[in-house]
Amino acid sequence: MLSEVFERKRIRWKKLNDIREKNNEKKKAVISAHRRISMICDNGEFKELDANLESNNPIDFPEYDEKRSELVSKCHMKDAFVSAIGKIDGRKALIGAFDTRFLMGSMGTVVGEKIARLASKANKDKLPLIIFSASGGARMQEGLFSLMQMAKTSAAITKFKDNGGLFISVLTNPTTGGVSASFASLGDIIIAEPNALICFAGPRVIKQTIGEELPEGFQRSEFLLEHGMIDMIVPKENMRDTLGKLLKLHSGKYVFE
């Protein structure tokens, strides 16, 4: 009897250790927004824009200020999005990237404002725009104000594109909710990383809603490429070269300094 108790405990501890190892692997796989931008810029150098923008808790959501302050100290950034200007293979571009460490890369008023400003600057300076999306969607702590960012960012991107601007949207894991349903799907060229989850509602939610088995790999990059929803799949290690070639291909539209 005692041996059975020890065996059950051993199995339980093994399961806990397996879970810890999986969580550690996930943490290692997370790439910060600053790191992601440096990976594609020449010599890893870029200039950050609008770094001091921060939310004022528009609906006085309980404990939101405390949580943001904690993440500001931990992540060394004031919200979930980094705006920058840099060069890729010698060609200047405006670049934005989400950071899932900050409230799962959710899009609130600051994120929406940064994206709108980035698109406006790209329009004014006639530079290509590249945005790396990685988000859980709209930020519930900002209520309706976060949902308004879907229209705001889409309008800014559309104005930029209507004036001849090049918008390259890079979808990483995960790109979901209001981000996938707004500006992230408006790219002239849409690139995804391998096996990235790209959707509005996740597979589990959809399965519970319709009560049916979903196709294997449903809402992953490969499935979306096969069904014409994205243009290409590019691994992280090839992203800089791919973006450099795309900018060179479209360089006739812009004046680079």
The stretch 6-24 carries a mean pLDDT of 59
147, 160: one domain: yes
250 HSE (CA, 13 A, CB side): 18
Helix axes 109-125, 143-162, angle to 10 degrees: 10
pLDDT band at 16 (very low <50, low <70, confident <90, very high): low
55, 123: one domain: yes
CA 155 to chain centre: 19
Say if residue 28's pLDDT is above 60.
Answer: no
36, 21: one domain: no
151, 93: one domain: yes
57, 76: one domain: yes
Q: What pLDDT shows up at residue 27?
A: 47
pLDDT band at 9 (very low <50, low <70, confident <90, very high): low
Say if residue 14's pLDDT is above 70.
Answer: no
Q: Are strands 91-98 and 81-88 parallel, antiparallel or unpaired?
A: antiparallel
Say if residue 25's pLDDT is above 60.
Answer: no
The residue among 26 and 82 whose pLDDT is bigger is 82
| Percent of the chain surpassing pLDDT 90 | 77
1, 69: one domain: no
133, 17: one domain: no
Provide the domain count of the chain. Answer: 2
70, 126: one domain: yes
Q: Residue 7 sits in which domain range?
A: 1-30
Average pLDDT value over all residues in the chain: 90
Any alpha helices (H) in the chain, and if so which ranges? 2-29, 33-40, 64-75, 109-125, 143-162, 177-180, 203-210, 221-226, 236-249
pLDDT band at 207 (very low <50, low <70, confident <90, very high): confident
Q: What pLDDT shows up at residue 249?
A: 92
Q: What pLDDT shows up at residue 242?
A: 98
pLDDT band at 30 (very low <50, low <70, confident <90, very high): confident
76, 169: one domain: yes
100, 167: one domain: yes
CA 222 to chain centre: 18
Q: Convert the pLDDT of each residue in 72-120 to its tens digit.
A: 999 999 999 999 999 999 999 999 999 999 999 999 999 999 999 999 9
22, 44: one domain: no
pLDDT band at 10 (very low <50, low <70, confident <90, very high): low
Burial class of 130 by CB neighbour count within 10 A (0 to 12, 13 to 18, 19+): buried
